[in-house]
Structure 1
């Protein structure tokens, strides 16, 4: 099997508008080229170092680092025969065309190919998030999303004269075991997206007059003790989504992702804890995360802490027992006045 080209993933780039578009197109082309030639065996660290020597034209070199990897996903691949020879690079297109030739009858399709020993493939994937700071603000960074893909044999098509109940069941059977799939080639990198986060968030804000949750999240970071102690992109990445609505207008979305590879911090406070016990639990959580007010930001993005913790902290403040700096109390009060989450 040959390694698919980078174009196979439909790589995209979230660019700032205006004259910067040409510069960003140049950057994404060069990042895509680095992904194509760097072996996965070298690790993501080697990839980050190589990208650090790929500056934006007219700008100084940036220092990229990996902050998060998310695996466990896959996408449909193609069709191979019993000798692993490629029949089609696009399983869905092949199946739709073959079904059309059989007038949409799955039984006829199964009868036609039952002796052909055909197999569907899939691409097992992992997304690596790399960032490079471009300034001192929380949103001042470039985020590069790189996919690590490996094509494997997924499942036989029309095995034992079995007729799938639908085209979707043929393409991706429910309950399929995916742990022992046979690889069809070495894993490889491909570029998914390059995003100037500050520019992307500015475009989001231009869509609606009111700040969206991600804007409030980053503003809270900058206003809190967290923003005074740590760089946002050291601890968070953003899940970026961009699509067109029915009127062909772009819809932009961004959701914070905790940049932790491994076990996240664990909140050890008892239900209903207040006072010294709650303070100790929050301090332990912050130490595990590596920055102050971590508990607040994790509360907004995961089920690690219930929202009741925030109200318990404010109850302590109102009772005269305040263990947070005034800037953090203000952030907390702002959230309680207008709650949001992800």
Structure 2
């Protein structure tokens, strides 16, 4: 079922699929400009860490045996009583080959301006089909794939490998289109509803000295309970309030957002995202800074700003957590409050608020 903030349509999926894959996605961006509402779409990030997945089955002469591997293997297992060995016995001498898809995920953004979260994020797979191995091992000396391995298309390494060949040209496939302003509004409402419900939970508190008991709520036991804000909303608020937002930088052109939306069996909804930086230059993690004086540490953080192209970037990289650590952020705050380094007041306020109510991704 399509979520309230999703904007993809069958027509848009067809338009994306018809665009040829070209360097820097020039044809796809032209297609967005000419045939959709996303005339200002820009490419932000590519993620290429995904593994291959099974696609089709071919014979030794590249004739298609089945267009969908998973549907075929499910049918074969049903036909042979769920026995992996029986399926292997039936096809081990056929020389069938498994084609696979190598996927790469691209993030595009259509920025509508004004509020930092007022943009549309378009996620598009680029997929290249290839073949490099037979489907079944020819011998059983070293064991046979089990049912789970067959369903996953991962029968192990003991199959006949052939020289890897690409099949056809890469193609695009639309994954999802997210109205991020809607995502934030709905996610924040879900978060606040969950916080209210959790805050109203009642507990029995017992005085360890007198033995007196009283009923208290989680809200009463947690100072500042109602001031806690949703992390995903805070990211954009912090961006707007600090140097990048004040300088006109748009968060959606610097970051992509890996969103999540889950409703548990009790009907409680959890929405979030993990920001993914959009820089393409190699940037090393800040390691072994414990022995550095704070001036040297802050110098390394400002070097990160210079490499990615905007001030106070290190704070948002610290929220992400892979390149900058929370302890390094704390040291900068301590140094600023001691007068050892100077932060712009608006950045200091954001950093101070994070210290008082830490969050990250």
TM range (shorter): 0.7 to 0.9
Structure 2 residue 315 is the aligned partner of structure 1 residue 337: no
1:248 and 1:296, CA in 2 relative to 1: closer, same or farther beyond 3 A?
A: same
1:175 and 1:245, CA in 2 relative to 1: closer, same or farther beyond 3 A?
A: farther
1:330 and 1:179, CA in 2 relative to 1: closer, same or farther beyond 3 A?
A: farther
1:33 and 1:217, CA in 2 relative to 1: closer, same or farther beyond 3 A?
A: same
Structure 2 residue 114 is the aligned partner of structure 1 residue 114: no
Query: C-alpha deviations, 1:205-236, integer Å up to 9, x for none?
Result: 12121533221222111111121121111211
1:233 and 1:125, CA in 2 relative to 1: closer, same or farther beyond 3 A?
A: same
Which runs of 5 or more residues in structure 1 are unaligned? 1-11
Query: C-alpha deviations, 1:5-58, integer Å up to 9, x for none?
Result: xxxxxxx96544xxxx8xx45xx34432332222113541331132123343xx
**127-136 or 239-248: bigger deviation:** 239-248
Return the alpha-carbon distance in structure 2 between the equivalents of residues 274 and 107 of structure 1: 64
State the partner residue of 2:235: 217
Superposed, which structure 2 residues align to 1:44-59 within 5 Å? 44-56=25-37
The Cα shift of 1:65 comes to: 0.8
**263-272 or 136-145: bigger deviation:** 263-272
Q: How many correspondences in the alignment?
A: 319
Structure 2 residue 54 is the aligned partner of structure 1 residue 35: no
State the partner residue of 1:187: 170
The Cα shift of 1:268 comes to: 7.8
SS in 2 for 1:48: helix
**129-138 or 299-308: bigger deviation:** 299-308
**Which structure has the higher relative contact order (CA within 8 Å, separation 6+)?**
1
The Cα shift of 1:319 comes to: 1.5
Structure 2 residue 112 is the aligned partner of structure 1 residue 134: yes
Superposed, which structure 2 residues align to 1:274-289 within 5 Å? 274-289=293-308
In the superposition, the TM-score normalised over structure 2's length comes to 0.79
1:269 and 1:158, CA in 2 relative to 1: closer, same or farther beyond 3 A?
A: closer
Return the alpha-carbon distance in structure 1 between the equivalents of residues 348 and 158 of structure 2: 50
Superposed, which structure 2 residues align to 1:1-342 within 5 Å? 15-16=4-5, 24=7, 28-41=9-22, 43-56=24-37, 62-73=39-50, 74-153=52-131, 155-162=133-140, 163-170=143-150, 171-173=153-155, 181-209=164-192, 211-229=229-247, 230-246=249-265, 251-264=270-283, 267=286, 270-342=289-361
In the superposition, the TM-score normalised over structure 1's length comes to 0.83
1:227 and 1:175, CA in 2 relative to 1: closer, same or farther beyond 3 A?
A: farther
SS in 1 for 2:169: coil
SS in 2 for 1:181: strand
Which runs of 5 or more residues in structure 2 are unaligned? 196-228
**134-143 or 174-183: bigger deviation:** 174-183
Return the alpha-carbon distance in structure 1 between the equivalents of residues 104 and 240 of structure 2: 30
Return the alpha-carbon distance in structure 2 between the equivalents of residues 118 and 243 of structure 1: 39
The Cα shift of 1:247 comes to: 5.4
1:66 and 1:181, CA in 2 relative to 1: closer, same or farther beyond 3 A?
A: same
Q: Is the 8 A contact 1:269 1:277 kept in 2?
A: no
SS in 2 for 1:63: coil
Q: Is the 8 A contact 2:145 2:155 kept in 1?
A: no
What is the root-mean-square deviation of aligned Cα atoms in Å?
Answer: 2.7
Q: Is the 8 A contact 1:14 1:196 kept in 2?
A: no
The Cα shift of 1:310 comes to: 1.1
Higher-Rg structure is: 2
Return the alpha-carbon distance in structure 2 between the equivalents of residues 308 and 336 of structure 1: 10
1:274 and 1:53, CA in 2 relative to 1: closer, same or farther beyond 3 A?
A: farther
